[in-house]
Structure 1
Amino acid sequence: MLDIIIRVVTESWHVLVDAGPYLLFGFFVAGLLKGFVPDEYMARHLGKKSVGSVLKAAVVGVPLPLCSCGVLPTALGLRRQGASKGATTAFMISTPETGVDSMAVTYALIDPIMTVIRPIAASITAVFAGVLVNAFPDKKEPLPMASVVAAPDECGVGSCGCGHDHCSTDENLSIGAKFRLGMNYAFGEMIADIGRWLLVGVVIAGIISAVVPSDALDQYVGTGFLSYFVMLVVALPLYVCATASTPIAASLLLKGLSPGAALVFLLAGPATNGATITVMLKTLGKRAAGMYVLSIVVCSLALAWATDLLYLSLGLDITAVVGEVNEVTPYWLGVTSAVITLLLVAWSFVRPHSHNH
């Protein structure tokens, strides 16, 4: 038993060392986005009930570092500021499925091709869902539109206690103040929100690496559409953010999971959970919520098949690539980044949380 625990801790540490530098870089870029891109800028571009507004919502959501918890109040704010149902749906899919932080970790733990595929797949799923929702509107009346700037008591509506301040930032702040605000968000609130989930994901990855036999997935899950469906069943009810899902997917890839099946997990896991579906039912209606889930299922399966086909046609063995990730960055940098990440997560447990900047 002690031997297994030591193996799990060792494997988990290796995952964190590999991901650490990219993770911190991802948080840094996330902070820049938060500090310098005003929330109102997005709302102004997402109001029309057109394919263009859906496309914009999907593209805007891709780099944003919000998990499926943090995206709910933001998406609700966009809806109340005039975004169409389709644009809101697209934003709610592309935002949690990927982000600058998760893309950085995907590059570190998986490979450059999956790093590119992931945001493209998230965008395709989001646009598909948004166009579908706009094409088949619910008979229910839409939410009344609020003014562009939400009232103070509406800020953070729909929050699930992640500690984010989802209120708009003041455009009159100096560059230095915006930078500080962004960094405080990234290395304070954001670490508090997803840091512990990331560590859970790292430990799960460590358990998979240490305990699961290397041929287990080939033996019991198989390949092709059976493996895609198995990953869907696992991922749909799971609450896991995009960053935390990456080390788990990387460990599964090392155990023989196909790139396509891993993509199903990376897309469906972060985008669906009980809280998201409940909020969608309440704010956008049953039809939109149904199309949201249907779009994720259909697109995950289709994109998984296309991904496996791509890797096959390129003659790439993803298991070999994933196994070599520790050669990407110097070991000392990985260790330093892993220690900093652990200290930031530990600090998030003890620091006083405030909803005001």
Structure 2
Amino acid sequence: MTQCCKQKGKIDYLFWSTFGATMLAYALHVINPPVMEFIPALGEFSHSVYELVNKMWWGLLLGVIFVGLIGIIPRDVIINLLGRKKGITSIFRATVAGILLDLCSHGILLVSMKLYERGARLSQVVAFLVASPWNSLSLTVILIAFIGWKWTIAYIILSMLIAVASGLVAEFFVSKGMLPDNPHHYIEVDEFKGQKLIQRITPGLVITAFKESEMIMRWIFLGVIAAALIRVFVPTETFTTFFGPTLLGLGLTLVAATIIEVCSEGSVPIAYDLFSRAAAPGNAFLFLMGGASTDYTEIMALKETTRSWKIAFFLPFVTVPQILVISYILNNVQI
């Protein structure tokens, strides 16, 4: 399993290396030393990094702020929002809770498994897991910086619809005995009051927010580097041909999303490249959603937690067809 979540007490080499490489490339474009004339690829790479960073910096800053604010709310409070009743209401609440938790995709996976152990219904866990990977508040503002409000809102609404629909299908399968129900019992959490929230707002919150954001930012910087390398080595014509708004493009994007083991935060810059250079908004949506739905780490974690291969393979079985259909429609509409 890729270690996308920072381990406390250790130097985050991935963050510092990707951050350093990104800032170095940005500085090279600004300074434009003579060596750039002799290495065209380096010039194109630094220009791509410069362009991407200029588009996302304000979204990244707002993301850090959101991480800090969400971080002072106890996780159990958000988890308790799920409720315990059957039906679309509890599934929708699980979807919203998934959006509120600002964690990397594998961090979300760990929380999802904890939800199951605490007695959340399988339908709620599925909805929570499907809604969460890229839909955190911090990544949402970064996505707005890249593709604008309209497309971001469309992506959020559609991903929530997929999450709710997948949860309803899971609930139906459980009711018919086609999937095993959760044997664990629901556990209530302590009441959390607004006064406690105010007490958690301290001057050190900003520093804490930046430290907590390293987990997210390292994958964003890795995604920036990956997107810049794609621009250097894959000509626009080739990129448009193979990853454009066609059935072939959708198929290749799904394969790429399945194979490329990048944390959800790193997928945003690559999705932006699909959106802008390949002119394929559906492919961008597919890349964001498909990677999480077909990730082998999620499949294996579901199997280990639920002790059921049926549940493990239910996730891609129910989500991928929905994602493909919606992605195809997005490639053929104007927003």
Tell me the TM-score normalized by structure 1.
0.74
Q: Residue in 1 aligned with 2:286? A: 264
Q: Offset at 1:210?
A: 2.6
CA distance in 1, matches of 2:280, 2:133: 23
Partner AA of 2:169 in structure 1: L
Farther-moved stretch of structure 1 (136-145 vs 98-107)? 136-145
Q: Offset at 1:71?
A: 0.6
Partner AA of 2:304 in structure 1: K
CA distance in 1, matches of 2:65, 2:295: 27
Q: Residue in 1 aligned with 2:188? A: 148
Q: Residue in 1 aligned with 2:171? A: 134
CA distance in 1, matches of 2:133, 2:222: 18
- Classify 1:295/1:93 alpha carbon distance in 2 versus 1 (closer, same or farther; 3 Å): same
Q: Offset at 1:200?
A: 1.0
Query: 1:56-113, CA deviations, whole angstroms, 9 ceiling, x for partnerless residues?
Result: 1112212432222111221122223321000011101101131111111111112222
2:240 counterpart of 1:218: yes
Q: Residue in 1 aligned with 2:27? A: none
- Classify 1:10/1:176 alpha carbon distance in 2 versus 1 (closer, same or farther; 3 Å): farther
Partner AA of 2:58 in structure 1: P
Report SS of the residue matched to 2:84: coil
CA distance in 1, matches of 2:49, 2:311: 39
- Classify 1:25/1:238 alpha carbon distance in 2 versus 1 (closer, same or farther; 3 Å): same
2:276 counterpart of 1:230: no
Q: Offset at 1:148?
A: 3.5
Is there any run of 5+ residues in structure 2 with no aligned partner, and where?
A: 1-37
Report SS of the residue matched to 2:200: helix
Partner AA of 1:195 in structure 2: M
2:328 counterpart of 1:305: yes
2:47 counterpart of 1:10: yes
CA distance in 1, matches of 2:203, 2:166: 36
Query: 1:17-71, CA deviations, whole angstroms, 9 ceiling, x for partnerless residues?
Result: 2211111102211321221365234325332232221111112212432222111
Instruction: Name the Cα RMSD after superposition.
Output: 2.7
- Classify 1:56/1:141 alpha carbon distance in 2 versus 1 (closer, same or farther; 3 Å): closer
Query: 1:215-238, CA deviations, whole angstroms, 9 ceiling, x for partnerless residues?
Result: 113333453322111111111243
Contact 2:116-2:182 within 8 A present in 1 as well: no
Query: 1:221-262, CA deviations, whole angstroms, 9 ceiling, x for partnerless residues?
Result: 453322111111111243333432121122233332411111
Report SS of the residue matched to 1:45: coil
2:24 counterpart of 1:24: no
Equivalent in 72, 89, 97 of residue 126 of structure 2: 89
Q: Residue in 2 aligned with 1:39? A: 76
- Classify 1:254/1:146 alpha carbon distance in 2 versus 1 (closer, same or farther; 3 Å): closer
Equivalent in 285, 290, 303 of residue 313 of structure 2: 290
CA distance in 1, matches of 2:201, 2:217: 23
After superposition, residues 296-335 of structure 1 pair within 5 angstroms as 296-311=319-334
Partner AA of 1:300 in structure 2: I
CA distance in 1, matches of 2:266, 2:202: 26
% same residue: 24
Q: Residue in 2 aligned with 1:190? A: 213
Contact 2:63-2:137 within 8 A present in 1 as well: yes
Report SS of the residue matched to 1:69: helix
Query: 1:101-149, CA deviations, whole angstroms, 9 ceiling, x for partnerless residues?
Result: 1111111112222211121122111112111111112554634236435
Equivalent in 157, 161, 169 of residue 120 of structure 1: 157
Tell me the TM-score normalized by structure 2.
0.78
- Classify 1:47/1:238 alpha carbon distance in 2 versus 1 (closer, same or farther; 3 Å): farther
Equivalent in 250, 262, 265 of residue 243 of structure 1: 265
**Which structure has the higher relative contact order (CA within 8 Å, separation 6+)?**
1
Report SS of the residue matched to 2:86: coil
Is there any run of 5+ residues in structure 1 with no aligned partner, and where?
A: 151-167, 315-357
Contact 1:81-1:147 within 8 A present in 2 as well: yes
Q: Offset at 1:286?
A: 2.1
Aligned residues: 294
Contact 1:58-1:126 within 8 A present in 2 as well: yes
- Classify 1:188/1:272 alpha carbon distance in 2 versus 1 (closer, same or farther; 3 Å): farther
- Classify 1:221/1:59 alpha carbon distance in 2 versus 1 (closer, same or farther; 3 Å): same
Partner AA of 2:320 in structure 1: V
